[in-house]
């Protein structure tokens, strides 16, 4: 049953202003997407947000700057080109949320837009439909091939893809692992390295978590690097045993935690269990003690500005706490989260950091370097990416 708050969302919302020329061409056809909500955080949001007809998310177009036509500043075009060609690492991309729309249309046998939706219920329907469609090894391979094409065009040189329990259950651990291994081998030919994160939904319970961890331990793909927690972020302490099992097998812990106000205790639990990275964690912006702990332990926070604004974790683009985290010494990796559904790219996230969070070109380069340092990579590959970041991107003129 959909909570009352979700059903009462307005039906006609302005879209997120396009941030690249490619986004601009399709934004007018996708205006309802400004109300789309990241499915993996929806349960947690419902637990921590007061009810009301418009409380689920803050529409980007209602922020003071959203409908402002930005003045073209000197060097702006150079900054766009700089961000576009900057070698980047994507550390937080959900498989079902990253399948390009043309692939889904092909599976459905239709030319109609597949990612047009107006409210939370519609978003869940679209995301769930994609999850259901990714039901064979061939479709996993096709989806990842299209994703890698998009990443290569966006100068993403390494990506870590989150694969959920539903996909594991539908395809089977061994068949899925074989498909992921083949996809990684194919991606390497295009210069994109892939790694995998198996994750379970906190709302699915202990048995579901056991299923994911068992698959990770018994039938992993070669590039499986971590396990994660998504969905209902509340009560992560329930999964202490699963976290310990994964850690004992040498897998990193990369959970979502502390996305919405008043949830910093989730970050503390993640830190207690040895998380090496934490997804979103935006609630820490209002808690200096939590920021200090993240900084002291140098735990990288995976921030996805477009997603975090659209889901209501932060009030608007200019209120995004990226600079607060950086000023406190917390490592940050910019990510796209569900790029296909949110109609964004990793370059767009870097440009959002520049336009709304005041990040300079050199700051964007530093963010790219931090993502490479936080990536779950072998050292030769990491060194190669860091060298590429330094050698292939030139700072634009001011």
Per-residue pLDDT tens over the stretch 251-265:
999 999 999 999 999
Over pLDDT 70: what percentage of the chain?
Answer: 77
Per-residue pLDDT tens over the stretch 80-111:
999 999 999 999 999 999 999 999 999 989 88
Per-residue pLDDT tens over the stretch 280-320:
999 999 999 999 999 999 999 999 998 898 778 899 999 99
pLDDT number for residue 162: 97
- Is 7 inside a domain boundary? no
Residue 127 pLDDT level (bands cut at 50, 70, 90): confident
CB 312 within 8 A of CB 58: yes
Residue 76 pLDDT level (bands cut at 50, 70, 90): low
- Is 58 inside a domain boundary? no
| Average pLDDT estimate for 7-18 | 30
Measured between alpha carbons, how far is 221 from 96 in angstroms, rounded to an integer? Answer: 18
Q: Which domain holds residue 365?
A: 78-392
Residue 108 vs residues 130, 132, 137, 139: alpha-carbon distances, Å: 10, 12, 17, 12
HEC letters along the chain: CCCHHHHCCCCCCCCCCCCCHHHHHHHHHHHHHHHCCCHHHHHHHHHHCCCCCCCCCCCHHHCCCCCCCCCCCCCHHHHHHHHHHCCEEEEEEEHHHHCCHHHHHHHHCCCCCCCCCCCHHHHHHHHHHHHHHCCCHHHHHHHHHHHHHHHHHCCEEEEEEEEEHHHHHHHCHHHHHHHHHHHHHHHHHCCCEEEEEEEEECCCCHHHHHHHHHHHHHCCCCCEEEEEEECCCCCHHHHHHHHHHHHHCCCEECCEECCCCCCHHHHHHHHHCCCCEEEECHHHHHCHHHHHHHHHHCCEEEECHHHHHHCCCCCCHHHCCHHHHHHCCCCEEECCECHHHHCCCHHHHHHHHHHHHCCCHHHHHHHHHHHHHHCCCCHHHHHHHHHHHHHHCCCCCC
pLDDT number for residue 169: 95
Residue 215 vs residues 64, 199, 220, 249: alpha-carbon distances, Å: 47, 11, 6, 12
Task: State the total domains in the chain.
Answer: 1
* Tokens of residue 238, six digits: 């329930």
Measured between alpha carbons, how far is 14 from 31 in angstroms, rounded to an integer? Answer: 5
- Is 261 inside a domain boundary? yes
Intra-chain end-to-end CA distance of the chain, in Å: 53
- Is 133 inside a domain boundary? yes
* Tokens of residue 265, six digits: 């205790």
CATH for 182: 3.20.20.140
pLDDT number for residue 310: 78
* Tokens of residue 191, six digits: 């210069």
* Tokens of residue 95, six digits: 């498989």
* Tokens of residue 204, six digits: 């699915």
- Is 331 inside a domain boundary? yes
Measured between alpha carbons, how far is 120 from 56 in angstroms, rounded to an integer? Answer: 9
Residue 190 has pLDDT above 60, yes or no: yes
Compute φ and ψ for 226, nearest 5 degrees: -160, 165
- Is 8 inside a domain boundary? no
Higher pLDDT, 137 or 40: 137
Helices 346-357, 76-85: inter-axial angle, 10-degree rounding: 140
Compute φ and ψ for 235, nearest 5 degrees: 65, 40
- Is 321 inside a domain boundary? yes
- Is 145 inside a domain boundary? yes
pLDDT number for residue 363: 96
Per-residue pLDDT tens over the stretch 216-254:
999 999 999 999 998 778 878 899 999 999 999 999 999
pLDDT number for residue 16: 29
pLDDT number for residue 115: 80
- The least confident of 60-64, 79-83, 128-132 is 60-64
pLDDT number for residue 396: 65
Mean of the per-residue pLDDT values for the chain? 81
């Amino acid at each position: 049953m959909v909570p009352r708050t979700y059903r009462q969302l307005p039906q006609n919302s302005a879209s997120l202003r396009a941030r690249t020329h490619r986004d601009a061409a399709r934004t007018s056809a996708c205006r309802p997407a400004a109300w789309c909500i990241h499915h993996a955080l929806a349960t947690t949001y419902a637990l921590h947000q007061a009810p009301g007809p418009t409380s689920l998310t803050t529409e980007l177009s209602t922020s003071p700057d959203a409908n402002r036509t930005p003045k073209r500043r000197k060097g702006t075009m150079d900054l766009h080109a700089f961000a576009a060609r900057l070698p980047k690492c994507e550390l937080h991309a959900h498989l079902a949320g990253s399948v390009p729309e043309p692939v889904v249309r092909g599976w459905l046998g239709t030319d109609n837009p597949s990612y047009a939706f107006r409210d939370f219920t519609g978003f869940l329907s679209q995301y769930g439909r994609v999850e259901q469609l990714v039901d064979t090894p061939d479709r996993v391979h096709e989806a990842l091939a299209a994703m890698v094409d998009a990443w290569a065009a966006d100068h993403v040189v390494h990506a870590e893809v989150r694969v959920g329990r539903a996909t594991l259950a539908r395809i089977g651990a061994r068949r899925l692992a074989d498909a992921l291994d083949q996809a990684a081998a194919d991606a390497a030919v295009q210069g994109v390295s892939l790694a995998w994160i198996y994750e379970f939904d906190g709302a699915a319970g202990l048995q579901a978590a056991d299923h994911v961890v068992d698959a990770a331990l018994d039938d992993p793909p070669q590039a499986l690097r971590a396990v994660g927690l998504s969905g209902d972020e509340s009560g992560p302490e329930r999964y202490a045993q699963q976290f310990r099992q994964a850690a004992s097998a040498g897998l990193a812990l990369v959970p979502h935690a502390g996305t919405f106000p008043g949830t910093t205790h989730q970050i503390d639990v993640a830190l207690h269990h040895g998380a090496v990275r934490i997804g979103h964690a935006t609630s820490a912006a209002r808690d200096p003690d939590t920021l200090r702990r993240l900084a002291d332990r140098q735990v990288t926070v995976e921030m996805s500005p477009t997603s975090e604004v659209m889901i209501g974790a932060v009030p608007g683009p200019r209120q995004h706490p990226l600079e607060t985290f950086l000023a406190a010494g917390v490592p940050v990796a910019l990510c796209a989260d569900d790029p296909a559904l949110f109609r964004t790219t990793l370059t767009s996230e870097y440009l959002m950091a520049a336009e709304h969070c005041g990040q300079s070109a050199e700051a964007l380069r530093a963010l790219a370097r931090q993502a490479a340092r936080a990536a779950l990579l072998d050292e030769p590959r990491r060194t190669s990416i860091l060298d590429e970041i330094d050698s292939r991107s030139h700072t634009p003129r001011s």
